Amino acid sequence: MEDVVLEGVGTFKELSEKAPKLEGLPSGVEGLDELFFTTVVKDGKVVKKPLGGIPRYSVWNITGVADTGKSVLAEQFVLKQAALGHTCIFATLESPAPFVAMGLKNRCIAMGLDPELVEEKIIFLDGASYSQLRTSLQTFLNTLAYAIRTYRSQIVVVDSVTGLYETKEMMARDIVRGVFNFLKKWHQTALLISQKRSGHEDLTAEAAGGYAVSHIVDGSMVLSKVLITNRYEASFYRKPVGEIVRLFRIDGCRLCGHDTSTHLMEITDEGLVRIGPALSEILSRSSGKEQ
């Protein structure tokens, strides 16, 4: 008889007993939580209901070229969750942990939170100082498992997941699949930051390793920036020529409904990310003024 994996087959009813409840985790990013929603039936009609944040247990690809605000967005998320009492794991594979901690403390102050949160609620995996965390996938996962078990964490940020396959992007799919399955098994809500390469379109979910990351994970948040080079752009974005404008888009989410439009994004003087209005909204506002 052929091999059959009976455990892999089940009815929806059987599986739904294990299915987690859909709920949002506040991101700490102004304007982001409103972009996720679910649907409910009210008086016989299907109504859109805000989820209130990033869906719990989802694993995200946060991608964009350098200096678009990927790490800041992830940092605000962990700090908000830490402020709500949750222990979070921050796996840094690029910058050494003491430097990340310093940045997080500053971010804490900007968010009006107690910087002690970083000492108490954030657990670091320092792949910049311990190279085995970058070069051995199983060492990385073993260490993550230890941290999750020991500190009872439900939130993980990996900055950046590209660090696990920096010199071998053809292995990205296998590696990300391993990390994704691991995070799902441990019921984590996770943000995996991934770098873009020079040939990639700015506002797509494509990242180092191709579309591997975005195909495997639950959804992608894409960040990009535009240099204003002409009068039309200057008048549309209301910024002078030579300025940078940042854009943000949610590129798919398996777990819940989401806003699909491209939004303006801003990094404030305090160093915080804020999601602004949709570009379509800006266009209709400026057309209204012209009329």
- Beta-carbon contacts of residue 51 (< 8 Å; ≥ 6 apart): 22, 23, 24, 33, 36, 37, 38, 256
DSSP 65: S
Restricting to residues 92-121, which ones interact with another protein according to CB under 8 A? 97-98, 101, 118-119
- d(C-alpha 174, C-alpha 187), whole Å: 20
From 30, 166, 174, 266, residue interacting with another protein (rule: CB under 8 A): 174
Task: Classify burial at 106, counting beta carbons within 10 Å of its beta carbon; exposed 0-12, middle 13-18, buried 19 or more.
Answer: middle
Q: How many residues bind another protein (CB under 8 A)?
A: 32
Piece of the chain touching another protein by CB under 8 A; list 126-134, 205-213, 218-226, 261-269: 126-134
CA torsion, points 90, 91, 96, 100, in degrees to nearest 10? -20
- d(C-alpha 29, C-alpha 255), whole Å: 20
Among residues 35 and 125, whose Cβ is nearest to another protein?
Answer: 125
Among residues 105 and 263, whose Cβ is nearest to another protein?
Answer: 105
Piece of the chain touching another protein by CB under 8 A; list 24-32, 130-138, 199-207, 261-269: 130-138
Piece of the chain touching another protein by CB under 8 A; list 122-130, 181-189, 199-207, 248-256: 122-130
Among residues 131 and 268, whose Cβ is nearest to another protein?
Answer: 131
Q: How far is the CB of 102 from another protein (least distance, A)?
A: 10
Q: How far is the CB of 290 from another protein (least distance, A)?
A: 54
**74 lies in the site for another protein, by CB under 8 A:** no
Q: Tell me whether the omega of the peptide bond preceding residue 224 falls within 30 degrees of 0, making it cis.
A: no
- d(C-alpha 261, C-alpha 279), whole Å: 8
**143 lies in the site for another protein, by CB under 8 A:** yes
CB of 144 closer than 8 Å to CB of 93: no
From 23, 50, 84, 142, residue interacting with another protein (rule: CB under 8 A): 142
Among residues 40 and 109, whose Cβ is nearest to another protein?
Answer: 109
Going by C-alpha positions, the residue among 86, 85, 84, 89 that lies closest to residue 74 is 89
Among residues 109 and 145, whose Cβ is nearest to another protein?
Answer: 145
Q: How far is the CB of 171 from another protein (least distance, A)?
A: 5
- Beta-carbon contacts of residue 73 (< 8 Å; ≥ 6 apart): 27, 29, 32, 62, 191, 221, 223, 273
Among residues 51 and 147, whose Cβ is nearest to another protein?
Answer: 147
**216 lies in the site for another protein, by CB under 8 A:** no
- Beta-carbon contacts of residue 250 (< 8 Å; ≥ 6 apart): 35, 36, 219, 220, 221, 222, 258, 259, 260
From 32, 117, 147, 161, residue interacting with another protein (rule: CB under 8 A): 147
Q: How far is the CB of 4 from another protein (least distance, A)?
A: 14
Task: Classify burial at 250, counting beta carbons within 10 Å of its beta carbon; exposed 0-12, middle 13-18, buried 19 or more.
Answer: buried
Q: How far is the CB of 145 from another protein (least distance, A)?
A: 8
From 36, 60, 77, 124, residue interacting with another protein (rule: CB under 8 A): 124
Category of 60 on φ-ψ map: left (φ > 0), alpha (ψ -120 to 50) or beta:
beta
Task: Name the pairing type of β-strands 36-42 and 257-258.
Answer: antiparallel
Q: Which residues bind another protein (CB under 8 A)?
A: 97-98, 101, 118-119, 122-126, 129-130, 132-133, 136-139, 142-143, 145-147, 150-151, 165, 168, 170-171, 174-175, 178
